[in-house]
Amino acid sequence: MRKSLSICTLALALAIAAGAQPSKAADTVTFVSYGGSFQEAQEKAFVKPFTEANHVQLVTDSGPTVAKIKAMVEAKNVQWDVVEVTEADYLNLVRLGLLEKIDYSQFDAQTIKAIEPQFRPEYGVAAVMYSYGIGYRTDLGRDDHPKTYAELWDTKKFPGPRALPTGTFANPPWEAALLADGVASDKLYPIDFARATKSLDKIKPNVTVWFDNTAPGVQALVSGDVDYGLMPNGRVLQSKSQGAPVDFEYGQALLYVDYFVVPKGAPNKDVAMKLLAFASQAKPSAEFMKQIQYSMPNTDALQYLDPEYAKSLPSAPENLHRQIPTTGEFYGEDSGNGDTWQKVSIDVWNKWFGQ
C-alpha cells in the first residue's frame, strides 16, 4: 500500500514537472426557470455564454415553486442555485426567510445605473418584464378580434374554444375574470374570489385547454385547437415571427415582473451571484430580448435592438400605457387566518375547478 502511494506521488510530481496541473473539479450552477422556448432563450442568451466562458458545468431544471424551495431549504438539501420566480413568489420567499441576499458588489457600476432601484431589491434582481393578454388566431375569416376581457368572455360575438391558465399557475386568471366582469383596473385588489369564480363560470364551458405551464397553452393556439386565450406576449409573438397565424393584443394586458433569486443554502452561491451579474448586463439582456419579445430591466439593452423590433416589447411606450400593472404584494399578504392570499387563491381554485 505504501509502495503504491509512493508510485502515485512520484507520477504526480513528474506530471507537474512536465507542465501538467493537478485536476480541479469544475464549478457547477443549476439554473431553474419556466421551461419551453422561454427558458431556451434565457439559456442561449446568457446562461450558456456565462458557463462556457467561465468553465462552469450547467445543470437545468424547471417548474419553480415556493413549496419546492421551502422543502429544500428546510431539509438542508438545496439543489438549485439561480431560480426565476414570480413577484408574488418572491415576496413569499422573502417573508419566509428562504433567500440569500443578492451580492450587488458583483455587478458593474453601469449595470447598476441602468437598472431602476425597484428592480434590484435586497433578495432578488428583476429577471424579465412580460405581459399576459389576449392571444388570438388571425386565420378565422374575420378582421376583428377580442380587445378586452369582456370580449374574450363574449362567446357569441367571438365563438370558438379558449385556453386559460389554471388558478395554480404562476399567473392565475383572477384579474382577467374580474376585468371581464367590469371591475375597474385600479380596484382589482384585494381579489374578490367569489366574483371572479362567478365570472369564470360564464366562460368555463368554452375553455377546452386549462394550462399550468405556458407552453401547452400557446401550442394549442398555434395548432388551432383553440382560437383565443389568455397568454404571454413573448411566446405568442415568437410563434408569429415563425409563421404561425397568431397575434397578441396589448390592450388590457396584465404586466408582470419576475425575479431571479438564490435559495438560502444554495450549493454554488458565489457562482450564482456572478451569473446574475452577467445576465443583468446590457448585451446579454439584449440577446435575450432578440429571441423572445419580453423586456429585461436593463434600459441600456435597448440600444442593441432594432428600433422597430423594440416597439413589439411590453416596455415600449406605445404598449406600456395600454397595459395594467399587476402586484404580487396582495398574494404575499396574510389573509387574516394565518395563510397568505396566495394559499387562499389556490384553495379557492381547487374547490371551484373540482365542482
Decide if 27-129+258-325 and 131-255 have a common fold.
yes
Classify domain 27-129+258-325 at the CATH superfamily level: Periplasmic binding protein-like II (3.40.190.10)
- What CATH number was assigned to the domain covering residues 131-255? 3.40.190.10
Angle, nearest 10°, between helix axes 269-279 and 282-291? 70
CB contact set of 162 (below 8 Å; sequence gap of 6+): 152, 203, 206, 207, 208, 209, 226, 227, 228, 229
Looking at the DSSP bridge assignments, the partners of residue 229 are 135, 163
Q: Where are the domains of the chain?
A: 27-129+258-325, 131-255
Residue with cell 385588489: 189
Mean pLDDT, each 10-residue run in order, the chain (355 residues): 40 41 64 92 97 97 94 98 94 94 98 94 96 97 97 98 94 96 96 98 98 92 98 94 96 95 98 98 96 92 92 87 88 87 94 90
Phi-psi region of 338 (alpha: psi -120 to 50; beta: other; left: phi over 0): left
Which 3 state secondary structure label does DSSP give 238? Answer: helix
Angle between helix axes 87-95 and 66-74 (nearest 10 degrees) is: 30
Count the residues in the chain. Answer: 355
Q: Tell me, what's the pLDDT at 26?
A: 63
The count of other CB atoms within 10 Å of the CB of residue 269 is 18
Q: How far is CA 13 from CA 19, 23, 24, 352, in A?
A: 10, 13, 16, 70
pLDDT of residue 321: 87
